[in-house]
Amino acid sequence: MEVKRYPKRVLTSFQLGNLVGLMFSQIYGQQLTYYYTSYIGLSLSFFLIAQVIFMVFNMLNDPLLGYLCDKSTRFINKWGKRFPFIMMGAIPWAIIPIFLYTAPSVAVAGQLGVFFWFLIVQCINDTAFSLMDVNRVGLFPDKFRHEDDRKIGGAITTVLETFGIMIGVLVPVLIIEELGQDLGYPIQAMVASGLALIFIFLMIPGVREGKEMRERRARLSLSMQGEPFFKGLLDTLKDKNFVGYMALYTVYTTSMGIIMASIPFFVQDILQLSKLGEFITLFYVIAVIVAAPIWYKLSYKIGIKKVTLIGGILLGLMGLPLLFVPLGPSGLTFVIIIFIISGFVDGAIISMTMPLFSSIIDNATVTSKRRKEGIYQGTHVFFSRFGIAINAFVFFIVNLLTGYESGSTDPSELFGLRLQMSVFPMLIIIIGIFLFWRFYRISDEEIHENSLKL
């Protein structure tokens, strides 16, 4: 049986959503904690509470949206199963960063005012993102069914996500360095939003569903009618392959989030450099681009699971050298070397994300005779959001135990920042690697067989 193939331009168009996602993720991950706790003046206690409430909001938001979109048949015949929801979420999602980076200061609105601004805007942002993301990611395994398309898509994703990270580093650092914080933060958000809208427009050919696909989905979607929400949610958590995947990528995004959020503080207080010092992240990004094709080719020889495990183990170990970075600008070369090696091994995890998720969806579809990409992705996004609260909790614990705050010069307090950048992320990712190794059991032969069955 011949499985339909797609040209690389369609795969590239589709994966532009990842570029925007990583651009925003970098801007939020590297700048948002510093912006609210150091520039705006929100206390770490209020910041932690806001992140915990936001995490709870995700407990229903992501899987519920995934379930409702899985169940909906309203637009299938004319527009497709996923395409309308992707666009409904993508456009407002592109604009919301402007509101996140134009918050009132504590002097104007008080701690409670800033707290509610931060919390409400984040919840709106996540709703728009989830509506787009659960449908776009859910569309991938349904549209791109050939194993080679999925691996090529994973390699393209790595390159585009890397460019997204580069934009997410360059735009805020250059603009804030040039214009200062007062003008820089809102302007960088406006520029990022404008770029996001352009990329989303270019994404349309990749996420659009053709006539044959619309007709097939109209038939298959009938099987989802009547399944209760919580039954669908529990079914995803009974899927051990999915649990293993979810555990790995939850701790991966958590540990990377801690590191990225710590970079402005690390550059300021350990390396003692200006805002431009945050460009160290680019060495990481360039290494990912170089590494992606190598890991992609290696996956054909040893399989996607082994590639992911190798990358995860090595990435976890790369945090330890950050404990020993010399204080002051002399430590810059040391950090650059660490970031280059880390980026190279991270290419393994990033490039295998789509192939792994697709293998799980295919296996679940063959087993259950139903396609439930939306609720799977929604459940995955929800658990990955635990990282938001964990990140804030790590910052809070480091501050509580070592006294570290932005601008600290005391060696014992700076050691707390070093722990935050190295030991905490390493311990977190080790847990995920073990759970992924233990629960994900789909062999490469099963992946191929499932693709043919579907």
Would you say residue 46 lies in a domain?
yes
- Pull the structure tokens for residue 452: 């043919």
Nearest Cα neighbor of 251 from 433, 26, 397 is 433
Would you say residue 119 lies in a domain?
yes
Model pLDDT, residue 391: 79
Task: Name the 3-class secondary structure at 76.
Answer: coil
Distance in angstroms (rounded) separating the CA atoms of residues 210 and 215: 9
What integer best gives the mean pLDDT of the chain? 83
Would you say residue 2 lies in a domain?
no
Q: What is the pLDDT of residues 427-444, one digit of tens each?
A: 888 898 999 999 998 887
The confidence band for 18, taking pLDDT boundaries of 50, 70 and 90, is: confident
Contacts by residues 100-105 (CB-CB < 8 Å, ≥ 24 positions apart): 100/28, 100/32, 100/125, 100/189, 101/35, 101/185, 101/186, 101/188, 101/189, 102/185, 102/186, 102/189, 103/35, 103/36, 103/40, 104/40, 105/40, 105/41
Better pLDDT: 272 or 219 = 272
Would you say residue 1 lies in a domain?
no
Q: Given a cut of 90, is residue 91 above it in pLDDT?
A: yes
Model pLDDT, residue 121: 95
Distance in angstroms (rounded) separating the CA atoms of residues 60 and 271: 41
Model pLDDT, residue 211: 66
The confidence band for 380, taking pLDDT boundaries of 50, 70 and 90, is: confident
Mean pLDDT of 165-185: 89
The confidence band for 345, taking pLDDT boundaries of 50, 70 and 90, is: very high
Q: What is the pLDDT of residues 189-215, one digit of tens each?
A: 999 999 999 999 999 888 887 666 666
Q: Given a cut of 60, is residue 89 above it in pLDDT?
A: yes
CATH of the domain at 36: 1.20.1250.20
Q: What is the pLDDT of residues 388-414, one digit of tens each?
A: 778 778 888 888 888 888 878 888 889
Q: What is the pLDDT of residues 41-76, one digit of tens each?
A: 999 889 889 988 988 887 777 777 777 766 666 666
Model pLDDT, residue 244: 92
Distance in angstroms (rounded) separating the CA atoms of residues 216 and 349: 32
The confidence band for 264, taking pLDDT boundaries of 50, 70 and 90, is: confident
The confidence band for 284, taking pLDDT boundaries of 50, 70 and 90, is: confident
Instruction: Please state which of the ranges 223-227, 267-271, 366-370 shows the lowest mean pLDDT.
Output: 223-227
Would you say residue 40 lies in a domain?
yes
Tally the domains of the chain: 1
Q: What burial class does residue 167 get, using C-beta atoms within 10 Å of its C-beta: 0-12 exposed, 13-18 middle, 19+ buried?
A: buried
pTM of the model: 0.70
Q: Given a cut of 80, is residue 151 above it in pLDDT?
A: no
Model pLDDT, residue 205: 87
Q: Given a cut of 90, is residue 222 above it in pLDDT?
A: no
Would you say residue 351 lies in a domain?
yes
Question: Can you give the residue range of the structural domain that contains 303?
Answer: 9-453
Model pLDDT, residue 229: 58
Q: What is the pLDDT of residues 294-330, one digit of tens each?
A: 888 898 889 889 999 999 999 888 888 888 889 999 9
- Pull the structure tokens for residue 40: 């705006």
Distance in angstroms (rounded) separating the CA atoms of residues 282 and 171: 12
Would you say residue 4 lies in a domain?
no
Mean pLDDT of 250-268: 87
The confidence band for 220, taking pLDDT boundaries of 50, 70 and 90, is: low
Would you say residue 406 lies in a domain?
yes
